[in-house]
Structures are given as C-alpha cells and as structure tokens.
Amino acid sequence: MMLDNLLEILPQRQEKLRVLIVDDQPINIRALHEVFRGEYHLIMATNGQQAIEQARKQLPDLILLDVVMPDMNGYDVCQQLKSDAQTASIPVIFVTTQSNPDEEALGFEAGAVDFIIKPVNPVIVRARVRTHLALKLQYDFVRSIALQDGLTGIPNRRRFDDDFASYWGQARREQWPLSLLLIDVDHFKLYNDHYGHVAGDVCLRSVAQALVKTARRSTDLVYRYGGEEFACLLPHTDLQGAEQCAASMLEAVAALNIEHCKSATAPVVSISIGIVSVIPDQDHKQENMVELADKALYDAKHAGRNGYRSSV
C-alpha cells in the first residue's frame, strides 16, 4: 500500500512523518534537507551520540544515517538503537560512500533496512524513504491492533510490558521518577456471578474508560492487565502525584454508580489500588516494582478495599 493511502486511513498520523538525518558533514545534511523539505518533519544530528539522543527524544519514523563518522560510526549507532526497546522499531537507512557487499552485510547485521550510496540521487532516495515509511506505518498499525485489549479497547498486557521496559530504561538513564499503579475491581467475581458475564463485560468497559479519563497526559497510560485487573504507568511522576491520580481513579469509578448489591465494600462497583514510585538505579529491578505494587494492592484490599495503599 502506498504511503499517501496509508496516511489517509490512519488519521492519527495526519501530522508530518518525522525523519532524522545524521551526518557529520553539513553539506550532506543540506543536500538531504533539500530533497525532503516540506514533505516531512526533519530532525538533524551531526554525530552518533547526538543521533541516539535525538532518536530517544523525538522518536522519528525513519533515520537516514551516515556510516563514516568520528567517535562513533553508523554501525555502532544502529546497534545501540536496535538494542533499546524505545528505538528498536525505527527503520534505519545507511547513507554511505561504501558500496561493496561486505559493508552492506555489516550494515544489515547491525539492523539497517536499506543502503543509499553517496552522492545521493534525489529520485532514488525519495522513493526508498517513502517505501520504508509505508512499511513502518503498516507495521505500527498491525502492532497497535495486536497490543489492544479486545474487550475494553485500551492497551493490553503485552503493550504494558513493552511500555514498562521503555519507560524503565528512560527513567534509569535520565533519573526521573516512574510510578506504577495496579488496580483491581472489588468483588468482581461476585458481580459476574450475580449479574452475568454480559453485564460483567459492560462493567469492565465502563471502569476502563473511567480510568483512562483520569490520565491527564498522553504519556500516562492505563492497561488491561488481566481479568478484572488494570495497570497504569505514570512517567515523570513521584509518589505524591501517583497518589493524586489514584484518588481521582477512585472518584471516577464511584461516579459510574454501577450497582453491586453483592459487594461487602460498597453498594456500587469500587476499586482497590496499589502504588509504587521509584527513580530506577542499579539497586532497583524492574520486576521488583511490580511485586511492590502488587503487595501494596494486597494491603489496600486487606484494609477494606475501595482505597489505595502505597509501597514504602
């Protein structure tokens, strides 16, 4: 499918696609800028480390990467990008003066999707970039479906695992707080047994949407964690901010006013929440954060449910 057709059926991508151009020679950057000016949102980097930082910060849809650069060559840059969950799916096209098979093999082993030989031919470079952007959009679209929960329409457990790994890596590198909330619908089995599974599905969808509406930033995501459990990741959020979010979630679910006559906690559907917030370092492990949030959730249930507890 052509790139223009994909942009038409993917309304969330109506903004310009982002292309990162990496070259230590300004004249080469200018040449590529002239080829794509007005067509894409262009980002520039003049060395390997800057390229990695820009890729993590800007999350471009495609990278045009020079091979021969001082300090860090293109192969090393590509390998680092592919080893990072946050940037691994970004297609990399090497732009190089090298045209022998051994160099190409090395590039493909590093994770590149294509090669373009300098000096660039505008028609060829434009066609190859459009082809790989189209493939990237198709990949993103299929992946978004695979990472969505079929019942509630929100991100699923697999998406949670991917995002958690990405946020954890960012938080550890940049030393900012990351908070995790585990959320459980109180006495949901009793709700299902009394009202039926159809009503149970409707209840879960309503709770999911109520939780999503409490997420104030695009980076604050709510996930269907499994069964009647949900999770929420809050990057750049300390414990106080996470507790404020939890309080909003409790209010939002209570405001649904979904009758639950079998609940020993409240006459309406309620939730319990476990919270943990850390600034990751060498003493913290990602899996321990989930364990701490799960323990805090247990404490919230043990304390009477319809509330939250924080891990300390």
Supply the DSSP symbol for 268: B
Based on DSSP, count helices (H) and strands (E) in the chain, helices before strands: 11, 10
Copy the structure tokens of residue 261: 């006559």
Angle between helices 74-82 and 48-58 (to 10 degrees): 30
How crowded is residue 57: how many other Cβ atoms within 10 Å of its Cβ?
A: 12
Q: Kind of pairing, strands 221-226 and 229-235?
A: antiparallel
- The residue annotated as part of the active site, out of 34, 228, 229, 243, is 228
Q: Tell me how far apart the alpha carbons of residues 48 and 54 are, in angstroms, rounded to a whole number.
A: 10
Copy the structure tokens of residue 251: 């209010």
Q: Which of 96, 70, 64, 92 is nearest to 80 (CA)?
A: 92
Sequence-ordered list of residues with C-beta below 8 angstroms from that of 93, at least 6 positions apart, any chain: 62, 63, 64, 65, 112, 113, 114, 115, 116, 128, 129, 132
Find out whether 76 and 66 touch, Cβ atoms under 8 Å. no
Amino acid at 288: N
Give 179's strand partners. 234, 277
228 is catalytic: yes
Q: Tell me how far apart the alpha carbons of residues 98 and 92 are, in angstroms, rounded to a whole number.
A: 16
How crowded is residue 147: how many other Cβ atoms within 10 Å of its Cβ?
A: 17
Supply the DSSP symbol for 264: S
Which residues are annotated as catalytic? 228
